[in-house]
Structure 1
Amino acid sequence: MEVVEMFHMNEGDGDTSYANNSEGQKNVILRTKQTTEEAITDLYNSLCPETISIADLGCSSGPNTFLAVFNIIRTVENLRKIAGTHSPEYVVHLSDLPSNDFNTIFRSMPRYVEDFKKEMGDGFGHCFFAGVGGSFYGRLFPSKSIHFVHSSSSLHWLSQIPKGLEENKGNICISASSPPSVIKAYYEQFERDFLTFFKTRSEELVTGGRMVLYFWGRKSESHNPIHDLNIWTLLAKCLKDLVTKGLVEEEKLNSFNLPIYAPSLNEVKMVVEKEGSFSINVLEGLTYDFSESMDGKALTNTVRAVLESLVVSHFGGGVSDQVFNKYEEMLGECMTEFVKEEFFNIVSLTKI
């Protein structure tokens, strides 16, 4: 399966769309807001650019697309007002895979931008938006053209499903029963992808440019959690149930793996240092309990909004409703033992 061609968040604004089921991702952006503000403050004070070029990688669609970008611009506007200087011009690149729902973004953009301009008031500089379709594991922008890169809840997705996962039968990602060969295959794909990510961004960022990245991770170096029932492994249980009922072929399940890897902070540090183009300003973790704002139905819709394109491309669209109806049912049965906390890596870097 070609991840670049098949993978996307659910489009539109329906009940199972990403736009209406991304509250958890919104909360991550808000909880990491201070790190982003500190990074853009340092960049603006040190470079004072007349035009600030911002790239949001993995922008998806819906309200969150504009949330982080407007927070970045708002911080700069506050700084320049305090300094008594004129507003810079802003160029915002909203980037995601080509299959992303860019239509919804640009249909909603006039309303969001107009409201933001009113908030900023007189003296606010010109703000230009562009959609950029492509994988962030390759070049997206001209050399030395970007000042600030932001990415939230995206970099745990790999460029492809690792090769050599034949022994991961019954699992759809790394879990407690995954053999060492599977863990090794996932790690090696992560390392290749991250080295490529930092190399390409180093070519695109100006010297002194900043990156702020938030993505799914894990607290320890170990891949063997005490509790192995989470949003990913519950999906595997649902698929196994459909195999038992004869609705999904067992071979299909055994060949289905998610292109996802949760690195430890130390693994992130090692790759950044190995690539060598960035200095690390912040490297820390955030534990987020996504059950704070979601019941079983809302959580199911959130998982569906993220994973449905992968399920449909592998198993076909006919089983999608059955998979996620079963997901909600199982979630209700095991909510007390379900691992509701997710760990996020928070990384802020400067281009050397």
Structure 2
Amino acid sequence: MEVFQVLHMNGGNGETSYANNSLLQNNVISLTKPITEEAITDLYCRKCPTNLIIADMGCSSGPNTLFAVSELIKVVEKLCQKLNHQSPEYQVFLNDLPGNDFNTIFNSLQGFKDKFRTEMGESFGPCYFNGVPGSFYGRIFPSKSLHFVHSSYSLQWLSKVPLGIENNCRAEELVEGGRVVLTFLGRRSEDPSSKECCYIWELLAMALNDMVLEGLIEEEPVDSFNIPQYTPSPSEVKLEVLKEGSFVINHLVASEANWNAYDSDLNVSESFNDGGYNVAKCMRAVAEPMLVSHFGEGIIEEVFVRYRKNLVDCMAREKTKFINVVVSMTKKV
């Protein structure tokens, strides 16, 4: 089966769904909020569009899908009030691969809009949502149609090796002066096999290899199973942006986030104190569709029991952090 068909998060609202196991991603969106707010503020003050068009690339499903968009709109609404401007119409494009759980998103939209209008007041402009299935490694939107592109924890995924990567850029789809803010898993090291970007997957590989040694699964499927992910360094990102030439880099930073998203939440009940359990659930929401496609459903519970143990052992010995790379750019005029 093609990677793009299985490269999606666990859908629905069940115990192992992405919707219920994406606090880490929520925390990362919050951490990057100052950069995102600066970008949307600069865009609005320069353009003052009456129809503001935003695209969220790799939106997935669950609360984070609309969280990022709502934060952008809140900034614009506050600016409108401050500048005594009429609220613009908002058009939001939610993009992900075709296997994404768009139904859950669509079912939540009316409740989101009702709640948002209550919070922002009746002057809040119309907000139109569109689902856009497709890989963000190719063209998705018409030329010069977008004002703002946002993506968080998506661009490290490779649904396939991008063709014509030197021309694979959102520049054609953005208006002049349009803004892009991208956050993705990365690394500080220049070594692409660095522990800081690969180790959490190595612990999953250890669980699979142990099952091979015990005769629970065959060796060949494990040898042929690959995680389609690449985590770049800030210098690699800068080099690619400069080579392409369409953007000015406003911010390029690396930051850290705990593997266990609950580490920084002082209000979490005792039931969430098992860090390995939390991280295993988070990773299961991400990796389960790929594992099921490759190995079948029969091994999933055992794999994640073992993976959880590996995570607990690792997290007891050392501080475990994800490295995030954030880049904010403006399309050249």
> How would you bin the TM-score normalised by the shorter chain?
over 0.9
CA distance in 1, matches of 2:13, 2:19: 6
CA distance in 1, matches of 2:247, 2:198: 36
CA contact (8 A) 1:227 1:339 kept: no
Kindly provide the amino acid, as one letter, of the partner of residue 51 in structure 2.
T
Q: Does residue 1:279 correspond to 2:248, yes or no? A: yes
Aligned to 1:337: 317
Offset, 1:292? 5.0
CA distance in 1, matches of 2:321, 2:166: 28
CA distance in 1, matches of 2:232, 2:197: 17
CA distance in 1, matches of 2:276, 2:3: 28
Aligned to 2:139: 139
Aligned to 1:346: 326
Kindly provide the amino acid, as one letter, of the partner of residue 79 in structure 2.
L
Aligned to 1:76: 76
CA distance in 1, matches of 2:93, 2:19: 19
Q: 1:200-236 deviations in whole A, cap 9, x for unaligned?
A: x111111111000000000121235467983211110
Kindly provide the amino acid, as one letter, of the partner of residue 106 in structure 1.
F
Q: 1:237-282 deviations in whole A, cap 9, x for unaligned?
A: 0110111121221111111111101101010011111111111111
Aligned to 2:50: 50
Aligned to 2:209: 240
Structure 1 residues 13 and 292: alpha-carbon distance in aligned structure 2, compared to 1, 3 A threshold = closer
Offset, 1:194? 5.7
Offset, 1:133? 0.4
Q: Does residue 1:127 correspond to 2:127, yes or no? A: yes
CA contact (8 A) 1:95 1:131 kept: yes
Aligned to 1:217: 186
CA distance in 1, matches of 2:243, 2:198: 34
CA distance in 2, matches of 1:252, 1:338: 31
Offset, 1:113? 1.5
Offset, 1:15? 0.5
Offset, 1:331? 2.2
CA contact (8 A) 1:230 1:340 kept: no
Number of residues of Structure 1 aligned to a counterpart in Structure 2: 321
Aligned to 1:249: 218
Structure 1 residues 75 and 322: alpha-carbon distance in aligned structure 2, compared to 1, 3 A threshold = same
Q: 1:288-339 deviations in whole A, cap 9, x for unaligned?
A: 1232516221111100000011111111121111111211122233322355
Q: Does residue 1:327 correspond to 2:307, yes or no? A: yes
Aligned to 1:266: 235
Structure 1 residues 229 and 29: alpha-carbon distance in aligned structure 2, compared to 1, 3 A threshold = closer
Aligned to 1:19: 19
Structure 1 residues 272 and 342: alpha-carbon distance in aligned structure 2, compared to 1, 3 A threshold = same
CA contact (8 A) 1:229 1:337 kept: no
CA distance in 1, matches of 2:62, 2:93: 16
CA distance in 1, matches of 2:48, 2:192: 44
What is the TM-score when the length of structure 2 is the normalising length? 0.92
CA distance in 2, matches of 1:248, 1:138: 37
User: Which blocks of at least 5 consecutive residues in structure 1 are unaligned?
Assistant: 161-188
CA distance in 2, matches of 1:72, 1:141: 20
What is the TM-score when the length of structure 1 is the normalising length? 0.87
**Superposition misfits of 4+ residues, deviation over 4 angstroms:** 226-229
CA distance in 2, matches of 1:107, 1:61: 11
Kindly provide the amino acid, as one letter, of the partner of residue 218 in structure 1.
R
Kindly provide the amino acid, as one letter, of the partner of residue 248 in structure 2.
S
Offset, 1:195? 3.7
CA distance in 1, matches of 2:223, 2:140: 34
SS at structure 1 position matched to 2:171: helix
Q: Does residue 1:290 correspond to 2:256, yes or no? A: no
Aligned to 1:29: 29
CA distance in 2, matches of 1:223, 1:154: 18
SS at structure 1 position matched to 2:317: coil
SS at structure 1 position matched to 2:10: coil
Offset, 1:135? 0.4
CA distance in 2, matches of 1:228, 1:7: 19
SS at structure 2 position matched to 1:349: strand
- Structural mapping, 1:157-176, within 5 Å: 157-160=157-160
User: Which blocks of at least 5 consecutive residues in structure 2 are unaligned?
Assistant: 264-274
Q: Mean Cα displacement is larger for which, 11-20 or 136-145?
A: 136-145
